[in-house]
A = this chain, B = another copy of it.
Amino acid sequence: MQCVELLDAHPGVSLVRVLGRAAAGQRFSDVVPGSGVDLEVAAGTDVGACDVVMAALPHTVAASRARGWLEAGVVVIDLSADFRIRNAATWERAYGIKHPDGELCEQAVYALPELARADLPTADLIAMPGCYPTASLLATVPAVRAALVDPDVIIDAKSGVSGAGRSPSLTAHFAEVNESVSAYAVEGHRHKSEIAQELDATAGTAVQVTFVPHLVPMTRGILATAYLRPRATVTVHQMVALYQEFCDGHPCLRYSPGSPATKSVASTNIAAVNVSWQDGVAVVTVAIDNLVRGAAGQAVQALNLRFGLDEVAGLPLRATWP
Contact = CB atoms under 8 A, between A and B. Distances in A.
Interface of A: 1-2, 5, 9, 32-36, 154, 156, 158, 160-162, 166, 168-170, 172-184, 186-188, 208-212, 214, 216-221, 223, 225, 227, 259-268, 270, 274, 276-281, 283, 285, 287, 317-322
A63 B280 CA distance: 33
B179 A266 contact: yes
Say how many copies of this protein the assembly contains.
4
Nearest to A284: B186
Nearest to A276: B186
A34 B263 contact: yes
Interface centre among A35, A214, A274 (most CB of B within 10 A): A214
Contact of A225 (B208, B214, B219, B259): B214
A43 to B, nearest CB: 21
Contacts of A179: 160, 178-179, 218-221, 262-263, 266
Nearest to A285: B183
A278 B212 contact: yes
29 contacts: A2-B321, A33-B260, A33-B321, A34-B263, A34-B270, A34-B321, A35-B318, A36-B317, A156-B225, A160-B179, A161-B175, A166-B170, A166-B173, A168-B169, A172-B173, A174-B217, A178-B218, A178-B322, A179-B179, A179-B218, A181-B223, A181-B262, A183-B225, A186-B274, A186-B278, A187-B276, A187-B278, A210-B278, A220-B322
B36 A283 contact: no
Q: Which 6 A-B pairs have the closest CB atoms?
A: A34-B319, A180-B263, A33-B264, A182-B261, A168-B168, A186-B276
Contacts of A173: 166, 168, 172-174
A174 B216 contact: no
A210 B262 contact: no
A161 B322 CA distance: 10
A172 B171 CA distance: 11
Contact of A319 (B33, B187, B208): B33
Contacts of A168: 168-170, 172-173
A217 B216 contact: yes
